[in-house]
């Protein structure tokens, strides 16, 4: 959603319909992940007491933030939508395995990021009437149904062709968030790394393609001027 909103802001496209569609998609896919993983691995995730402020944990988190911020500024120069979200995700995935122990991130910061995203969405929701909201909601439901239908068909076909479990391919290819689908994979005791890798590739394509379009438009405007 962040990448699409950034692209809409750059191209001066009204984001109302985009916000409704992505917000509804997030709700539907979160419910779908819970439905797929229900009872799949009860008690498989054991809560642990995380120590956030150890020297090792803070140094690694600081390194991830620093590298992600530096690379994000570099991508921002090339007009990548939501560059810091992309770089922080890949830096965390790349640097975490190098740490000697499991790293922990304060959950309060995750909750704060969700609050800020909700404030951004709420700002866009105030820009249209209830009638317009209903019209956009109906078209968004149709788009989500088409997208989920294609995902289910492709996951079933892929499962039949390559022998992978249907639930694994469904979680890997559904257009949902990395954390939600990875959590569902952990609950089902399927290959969460495979699920995460598919979503990382999808996010990389989603972030890269709009940047290439913006870069091409920028070059064409320079030539015409």
Rounded-to-5 percentages of helix, strand, coil across the chain: 75, 0, 25
Would you state the pLDDT for residue 221?
Answer: 77
d(CA 170, CA 3): 23
pLDDT at 3: 61
Query: Where are the chain's structural domains?
Result: 128-224
Q: Which residue has the tokens 């969405």?
A: 121
CA distances from 208 to 23, 79, 96, 173 (A): 22, 10, 24, 18
Task: Kindly tell me the sign of the dihedral angle through the C-alpha atoms of 121, 126, 127, 130.
Answer: positive
Residue 66's pLDDT is what?
Answer: 92
- Among 178, 216, 179, CA closest to 198: 178
Angle at 103 between CA 101 and CA 106, to 5 degrees: 155
Distances (CA, A) of 27 to 119, 178, 184: 16, 14, 15
Closest CA to 61 of 70, 53, 50: 53
Cα–Cα dist 206/71, whole Å: 17
Find the helix packing angle between 192-224 and 166-173, rounded to 10°.
30
Residue-by-residue pLDDT tens, the chain, 225 positions: 666 666 666 666 666 677 777 778 878 877 777 776 665 555 444 544 556 667 888 888 889 989 989 998 888 777 676 778 778 878 888 888 888 777 877 777 778 877 887 777 777 666 667 777 777 778 888 888 888 899 899 999 999 998 888 888 888 888 877 777 877 787 778 888 888 888 888 877 877 777 777 777 777 877 776
Say what the pLDDT of residue 10 is.
61
**Rounded distance between C-alpha atoms, residue 84 and residue 68, angstroms:** 7
Q: What is the pLDDT of residue 94?
A: 83
Largest CA-CA distance found in the chain, in angstroms, rounded: 63
The confidence score (pLDDT) of residue 160 equals 92
- 16 close to 134: Cβ distance less than 8 angstroms: no
**Residue-level pLDDT at 179:** 73
Is residue 111 exposed (0-12), middle (13-18) or buried (19+ Cβ within 10 Å)? exposed
């Amino acid at each position: 959603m962040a990448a699409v909103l950034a692209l809409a802001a750059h191209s001066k496209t009204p984001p109302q319909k985009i916000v409704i569609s992505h917000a509804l998609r997030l709700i539907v896919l979160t419910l779908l992940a819970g439905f797929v993983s229900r009872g799949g691995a009860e008690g498989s995730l054991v809560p642990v007491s995380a120590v956030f402020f150890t020297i090792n944990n803070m140094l690694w988190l600081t390194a991830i933030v620093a590298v992600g911020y530096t690379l994000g500024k570099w991508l921002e120069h090339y007009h990548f939508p939501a560059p810091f979200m992309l770089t922080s995700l890949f830096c965390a995935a790349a640097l975490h395995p190098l740490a000697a122990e499991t790293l922990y991130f304060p959950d309060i910061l995750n909750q704060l990021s969700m609050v800020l995203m909700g404030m951004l969405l709420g700002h866009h929701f105030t820009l249209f009437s209830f009638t317009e909201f209903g019209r956009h909601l109906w078209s968004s439901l149709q788009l989500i149904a088409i997208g989920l239908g294609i995902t289910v068909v492709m996951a079933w076909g892929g499962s039949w062709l390559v022998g992978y479990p249907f639930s694994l391919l469904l979680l890997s290819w559904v257009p949902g968030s990395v954390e939600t689908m990875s959590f569902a994979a952990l609950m089902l005791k399927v290959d969460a790394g495979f699920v995460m890798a598919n979503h990382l590739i999808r996010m990389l394509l989603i972030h890269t393609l709009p940047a290439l379009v913006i870069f091409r438009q920028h070059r064409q405007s320079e030539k015409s001027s």
